[in-house]
Amino acid sequence: MKLNGLGVSPGIGVGRALVYRQHAFDVRFRVQPAGVDGELRRLEQACERARRQLNDIKDRVARAAGAEHASLFEAQVLMLDDPMLTGRAASLIRDEGVNAEWAVRRAGEELSRLFDEAEDHYLRERKLDVADVTGRLRLNLRPQSGGPVEIFRTVEGPLILVADELAPSLAAQVDWRQVVGFVTDVGSWTYHTAILARSLHVPAVVGLHDASARLAAGTMLAVDGTTGEVLLDPSAEELAQLDARRTRRTAYERSLDEYRQLPAVTQDGVRIVLEANLELPEEAETARQYGAEGVGLYRSEFLLESRGDGTLAAADEEVQYSAYRRIVEAMAPGTVTVRTFDVQERELYPNGLIGDGSHGVLGLRGIRVSLAHRDLFRVQLRALLRAARHGSLRIMFPFVTGVDEIRAARGILAEAAAELRARGEAPPAVPVGIMIEVPSAALTVDLLASESDFFSVGTNDLIQCCLAVDRADDRVSRLYEPRHPAVLRILRYVSRAAKRARRPLALCGEMAADPGTLALLIGLGVTEFSMAPTAVPLAKQLVRAIRLDEARRAASRALRAATVEEVSQALEELRVSRT
């Protein structure tokens, strides 16, 4: 059997399915015989915790409303010893080798079906108690720290992680030596976790709709992150074909090795700056190996730590300072541009102002979160200023929509500097810039230039906002088109406005990772780019094969195009002219 999705990170991964449904905190995996006793202990500990919790609730209700109202919780306590619930869950762990969370869920569903079939109305109503008790048990089975990653580490690999959605903060904590690929129900090429996967060379397929509900834990899966294919229980012949694909892919990547340390200079002598987008401090050395001149975008939100409840907590000042310093020193003498936290508030605070997070990408995120939570923001800025003493560092604010936000952010930066001076530390002057990723910023570059030392175009969000397309929604993600005429025109406007304002302009979205589009961007006047480290050699190959005057002519034709197809034709003519 084969599933087809969108391949977003090339490579082949083969392993057994570990199913994780983030929104329901549903983790399913097969337990090896040696791990059965450990799962039984986890179930017993969860039961004991639930018993203490229910007895406390029962006592509080009895004192407040009388003993008759506390009887409900007495019944729930008794369920914890019911052989049809916890006894059945223990049997599933022993007999079928499933993890405790999965066993509790299945036992609860089986018992609920029995209550559904009962003729007695009272018994049918007990189904709610079953749901309450199983929900409490599953909650108590959650790791007290470290989130689901702690559970993943107990499972023998190699594994393919199957998820409804995989948050970047969780992906950053996974041991990718054990988890050799992942598939998700949602996502796109510019999905942040897909970007991280490409940086880490982890095969990934997204947009599979309901794979996390359909695929059984323990199923052998083969993931091809190039074609988007996911094979279930692949045959020996299919595995051989995948191995041949892997060999060809490796040979292709090696063919680009010669470009790693060559300068990115066009055939007519124009120098192009190619830097790296990083998610993890450890990637700095990889970026240098692939030939990146610096870091054009360090996504600092990957320093956030996952709580057990799925939300995030900011690392303290020392942890952040250490991470920023490591990157700056590793990339010296190159420059490192650190983007301040770009998250939605619900990811930091479970009771945030946007409630259940249904407001999505246009809610309280990026610089808005930092301005709303100034203590957290000052901690990050202090860590950044301290790290700037060890090399060339720039600070970049995300999702800026107007001048007021930059002024407010600069004001907090000044406060952070003053706090360091009060501690006897001398913070250096640090260039401060912004990301252009919403139309309001793109159309007011001349105004923003008075408050910004540099600009960086975040094409992932700019395209999304410009075209009103949620790139993670597979119902419309096909409309997310970097070569849309509107996108090209807004990029030309930003490039010209930045040049008039004499402000450096870079582009750090995934748009630059496509060779054909990179040539178009150079023709539009952009000469600084930041991309996944692994994309740098291919970009150098492209740069060294074109002439600036040819790229400009192709860009001019593309700007007159009315459709995406016509834009692509203009770029095809550029390719043909080079052959």
Task: From residue 205, give the alpha-carbon distance in Å to each of 146, 192, 369, 411.
Answer: 25, 13, 31, 43
CA 480 to each of CA 10, 58, 470, 473, 484: distance values in angstroms, whole numbers, following the listed order: 20, 54, 8, 10, 9
* Phi, then psi, of 297 in degrees rounded to 5: -155, 110
Catalytic site residue 359?
Answer: no
Cα 334 to Cα 500: distance, rounded to the nearest angstrom: 26
Cite the beta strand spans of 126-170 per DSSP E.
159-163
Q: Is 467 helix (H, G, I), strand (E, B) or coil?
A: helix
State the distance between the two ends of the chain, measured CA to CA, in whole angstroms. 41
Q: Which residue bears the tokens 């496509």?
A: 514
**In 3-state terms, what secondary structure has residue 478?**
helix
Q: Can 508 be counted among the known catalytic residues?
A: yes
DSSP assignment of 421-445: HHTT--PPP--EEEEE-SHHHHTTH
- Give dist(CA 520, CA 552) in Å, integer: 8
**Whole-angstrom Cα distance, residue 252 to residue 538?**
10
How many angstroms separate the CA atoms of 130 and 134, rounded? 6
Strand partners, 182: 161, 204
Burial class (CB in 10 A: 0-12, 13-18, 19+), 331: buried
Selecting among 47, 192, 373, 466, the annotated active-site residue is 192
CA 213, CA 163: separation in Å to the nearest integer? 9
Select which of 47, 465, 466, 508 is catalytic: 508
Q: Tokens standing for 328?
A: 């700056």
Q: Which residue, chain included where needed, has tokens 């479970």?
A: 350
Contact of 535 with 297, CB cutoff 8 Å: no
Q: How many CB atoms lie within 10 A of CB 164?
A: 20
Kindly compute the dihedral angle of the four CA atoms of residues 382, 383, 386, 387, in this order, to the nearest 10 degrees: -150
Q: Are 551 and 275 in contact (CB under 8 A)?
A: no
Q: Is 332 helix (H, G, I), strand (E, B) or coil?
A: coil
What distance lies between CA 445 and its chain's CA centroid?
28
Q: How far apart are CA 506 and CA 243, in angstroms?
A: 39
Which are the catalytic amino acids? Answer: 192, 508
